[in-house]
Amino acid sequence: MSKHDTSMWTMSVFFRETLRIKEYNRLIAYKRVICAPYRKPAFSSMSSHADAFAGKLASERTTSDANRAISDQANVEFDPLPVYAERTAARQPNQKKLEVTLDKDGKPLVSFMIYGHEALSTNVGTILEGSGPLRGVVRLDSDAPNPIRSIVLTVRGDYLMGASTNPEGEKNYTFFNHTETLWSQDYGKPDNSSTDSRVTLLRSAYKGQLQGEYTWPISVTLPKEVEFTPAHESAPRTFPLPHSFNERFIRATISYTASIKFNRFGFLKEDYELSQPFGYYRVTYPPPFPPLRDVAYQEGTPLLGPSIDPYGWHSQEPIHIKGRIFKSVDFIAQCTLYISKPLAYKAGSFIPLYIRIESDNEQALDLLANPKSIHVRVRRQIIDHTQKHNLADNGTFRESLDYSQRAVWWASTEEHPTLNSRFFNGELHLKPGMKPNTELGHFKLSYSVMLYDFSAIGLEFQEQKFLQEFPIEICTFYAPGPRPKSIMPHDCSPDVPFGKFIVPDMEAFSKGFY
């Protein structure tokens, strides 16, 4: 190699290595800029800023999850992840303040405020199961010395059985009762403003009066289960803490109340009392979908029928229907109703249905196999026990029934009709706001899918009111995984206007329970 070639080769290597070093430095600088938010800071000041930034992001994420969750009442889909329940509870995002006051001379003397979930709380604060304790603040703002002996908080859950013709009235049951003293003279003189006076237990007893502004925070953890002894039973049973229930025309009520009492001393000194009702919203999920249904919802394809996906549908024995056509020709038909698994559905979603109708009488089959003739509804049943009127009476059970609107149907494209058979897909829509299944002693709220007589003109049946019943569960949240998508429009308007006692000419009709 000549000297010229050697010098040229040396220069090329030099320039190549220089370019490599510049490119390497550029990549390092780029990496530092891009990855800066994710690197661990070297100094404590940087660490505090990073922790604050991470906390803000985590709070925003938790708040987003909580906001997505509970808007069922507003017809918005929401689904909080159970894994994050404790984190959500710790940060308490999206709270709504509800306050009651006792005024004196146009100024609040005593106030009692509780926090509820913003999306669920309207007229009363509502606590979401798993979102943390019931929180609030009690405040006293007295311009003059006030003889307060103690301040007592009571939180309770009651099963109210409603009015009765019994002169003594129905008996009410308390299934949860929590009482605690927020402050007492034995605790010593409390500090002004927001100091929690319960930390001053080592102070000497205070015999004076309170003047100025004082606040006491409250925090009460609601239990997941309660022990309750039903009427005419000796041993208590364990039930999940029930969802709030209070509806017009239904005498049984499940209610929650938080109350505060300022016990005062001195001649003719009346106590101060304030109370606030609040709601409890249970968190219940359906089980996951069967595999083929899960795939159908993920890919947005039609659901497979029971002939292809037998594990995705639930059915009972086929129903045999006997009747007469136009009062002249007897016929026998057979129908099988299928309901999608699992038999638990979120309020505000829908229940996929499938029905097979068979008959050797082609005229009867044509009359039965009409979407408007197939009568399927959700029935809500409420059973509660009344107080016995005397020792010889064991008490009675009240039953309240109501129904959803009818399911909507269309001809199946998976199985084609034959001379003796017809196939239909259907959807039974559930309006948001339906209460979940609840049981507490002799109070029981349950749901069933009901198949009633076919309402076909020209057909008469042999004294059959309803043909089949499928107990189901109504949940407050969607199951993990894809969301089911309805393909049919629906109308949840009741058959009877609200508050009207008009009875339509039908066995089952909707009064608008949901």
Q: Is residue 87 part of a domain?
A: no
**More confident: 313 or 405:** 313
Q: Which amino acid is at 80?
A: P
Beta partners for residue 253, in sequence order: 160
| Residues 311 and 271 reside in one and the same domain | no
Q: Which residue has the tokens 């609601």?
A: 222
Whether residues 277 and 296 share a domain: the answer is no
Q: How far is CA 377 from the centre of its chain?
A: 22
What is the pLDDT of the chain when averaged over all its residues?
Answer: 78
* Same domain flag for 261 and 302: no
Residue 276 shares a structural domain with residue 307 = no
pLDDT at 22: 54
Domain boundary among 236, 252, 281: 281
Task: Give domain status of residue 400, yes or no.
Answer: yes
Q: What is the CATH number of the domain that holds 386?
A: 2.60.40
Q: Is residue 337 part of a domain?
A: yes
For residues 102 and 200, membership in a common domain is answered with yes
pLDDT at position 405 is 87
Residues 6+ apart with CB under 8 A from 307: 414, 415
Of the given ranges (10-19, 28-37, 153-162, 195-204), which has the lowest mean pLDDT? 28-37
Q: Give the mean pLDDT of 150-170.
A: 74
Give the structural domain span for 223.
94-281
Percentage of the chain exceeding pLDDT 70: 70
| Higher local confidence (pLDDT), 435 or 66 | 435
- The amino acid occupying position 443 is F
Structural domains in the chain (count): 2
Are residues 366 and 326 part of one domain? yes
**Pair 295, 250 in one domain:** no
228 found inside a domain: yes
Q: Both 274 and 360 in a single domain?
A: no
pLDDT over threshold 80, residue 402: yes
Asked if pLDDT for residue 190 goes beyond 70, the answer is yes
pLDDT band at 197 (very low <50, low <70, confident <90, very high): very low
Of 225, 254, 281, the residue that ends a domain is 281
242 preceded by a cis bond (ω within 30 of 0): no
Could you tell me the CATH number of the domain that includes residue 197? 2.60.40.640
Query: Which of 249, 281, 313 is the last residue in one of the domains?
Result: 281
Q: Distance between CA 491 and CA 245 in Å, rounded?
A: 24
Arithmetic mean of pLDDT, 356-381: 92
Residues 297 and 267 in one domain: no
pLDDT at residue 214 is higher than 70: yes
Q: Do 252 and 365 lie in a common domain?
A: no
- Transcribe 47-94 into DSSP letters: HHHHHHHHHHHHHHHHHHHHHHSSTTTTT------GGGHHHHHHH--S
Give 61 or 150, the one with higher predicted confidence. 150
| CA distances (Å), origin 28, targets 15, 36, 285 | 20, 12, 48
Average the pLDDT over each of 83-87, 209-213, 214-218, 442-446 and give the range with the smallest value: 83-87
pLDDT for residue 194 is more than 50: no
Q: Is residue 416 part of a domain?
A: yes
| pLDDT reading at 379 higher than 50 | yes
Residue 63 maps to a domain:
no
pTM (two decimals):
0.75
Do the beta carbons of residue 125 and residue 278 sit within 8 Å? yes
pLDDT category of residue 165 using cuts at 50, 70 and 90: very low
Q: Comparing 127-136, 160-169, 293-302, 408-417, which segment has the lowest mean pLDDT?
A: 160-169
Q: What is the pLDDT of residue 397?
A: 61
Higher pLDDT, 70 or 209: 209
Provide the pLDDT confidence category of residue 74 given band limits of 50, 70 and 90. Answer: very low
Using alpha carbons, list the distances in angstroms from residue 428 to 376, 425, 449, 488: 8, 10, 9, 10
Query: What pLDDT is stored for residue 4 in this prediction?
Result: 54
Please say if the pLDDT value at position 51 is more than 50. no
Same domain, 303 and 156: no
Q: Three-state SS for 3? A: helix
pLDDT of residue 116: 93
pLDDT band at 238, cuts 50/70/90? Answer: very high
Q: Residue 191: pLDDT band by 50, 70, 90 thresholds?
A: confident
Q: What is the pLDDT of residue 489?
A: 79
Q: Where does residue 26 rank: exposed (0-12), middle (13-18), buried (19+ CB within 10 A)?
A: exposed
Q: Residue 94's pLDDT is what?
A: 75
Do 382 and 349 lie in one domain? The reply is: yes
pLDDT at residue 163 in the model: 52
| Segment 10-46, tens digit of pLDDT | 555 555 555 555 555 554 444 443 444 434 333 333 3
Contacts of 488 (CB under 8 A, 6+ apart): 408, 410, 427
Residue 450 domain flag: yes
Query: Highest mean pLDDT range out of 67-81, 347-361, 498-512?
Result: 347-361
- pLDDT reading at 426 higher than 70: yes
